[in-house]
Amino acid sequence: MLMSMNAFRYLIVRVQKYYGVSLFFLALLWFSMISCLEIQGQQRSTEVKADFYAEISANRDSIVVGDSCIVSVILYSNLPFESVEQMPRNLQFAKDVRVHLIPTDREQQQVRTSRGVYYALAWQHYRVSRKDLGIIVWPEMQFSAEVGIYQAVEDDFWNFFSFAPTMRLIEKRKVKCKVPKFSLPVVERPKRSTQDILRSGRQVM
């Protein structure tokens, strides 16, 4: 089992205190340890498989003619996002469909999914509506992203006595995915019953 970095630091301090080992020797030993850890980190990075997918959903199962609902596209990755590109950039909808882009804060955060703990990025929220009966069919969307593999490393020798390692990007992976097919029924507004009208205080002729 590999010795932890904190335990390794403690061991070096004790060795220097009781055996008078020179600072030069300790520095050489420290940099050798860092080099070994970096090599091991690079070897482990080749074993990491990037998983990237997208989900699309609406806050309603269907919408009434003239009404609107929110459709959201969320991206997921088991590795942190470095950059994301949408293709095509501008979506083309049917002429009778109205789409309004809602300002979206594209900050990734870790969430628990059916596949484990993933990074989630709310890519875009849309407000959609249609003025007649039918189905809103979502255009095909693809995403190309770069995700990063990070390793906990020390900044330099002067952080020798620090117990807060920093994270360094050691590799980027290019990944692609498609948004699943999505459609939303547009239905007629339900007719009100006589009882509903009476409860609203209106007279029935």
Q: Residue with structure tokens 């009404």?
A: 67
For the stretch 90-142, pLDDT in tens is 999 999 999 999 999 999 999 999 999 999 999 999 999 999 999 999 999 99
Residue 1 has pLDDT above 50, yes or no: no
Residues 6+ apart with CB under 8 A from 108: 80, 81, 119, 120, 121
Residue 82 has pLDDT above 60, yes or no: yes
Rounded CA separation 5/178 (Å): 41
Average pLDDT value for the chain? 81
For the stretch 35-79, pLDDT in tens is 554 544 454 556 789 999 999 999 999 999 989 999 999 999 999
Q: Helix 5-19 and helix 23-45: axis angle, to 10°? A: 160
> Residue 129, Cα to own-chain centre: how many angstroms?
28
- What is the per-residue pLDDT for 121? 98
Report domain extents, the chain: 5-45, 52-187
pLDDT category, 160, cuts 50, 70, 90? low
Q: Is the pTM of this model over 0.75?
A: no
Q: Is 179 exposed, middle or buried (0-12, 13-18, 19+ CB in 10 A)?
A: buried
Q: Residue with structure tokens 């205080």?
A: 201
Is residue 185 within 8 A of residue 62, CB to CB? The reply is: yes
SS3 157: helix
Give CATH for domain 52-187.
2.60.40
Is residue 55 within 8 A of residue 125, CB to CB? The reply is: no
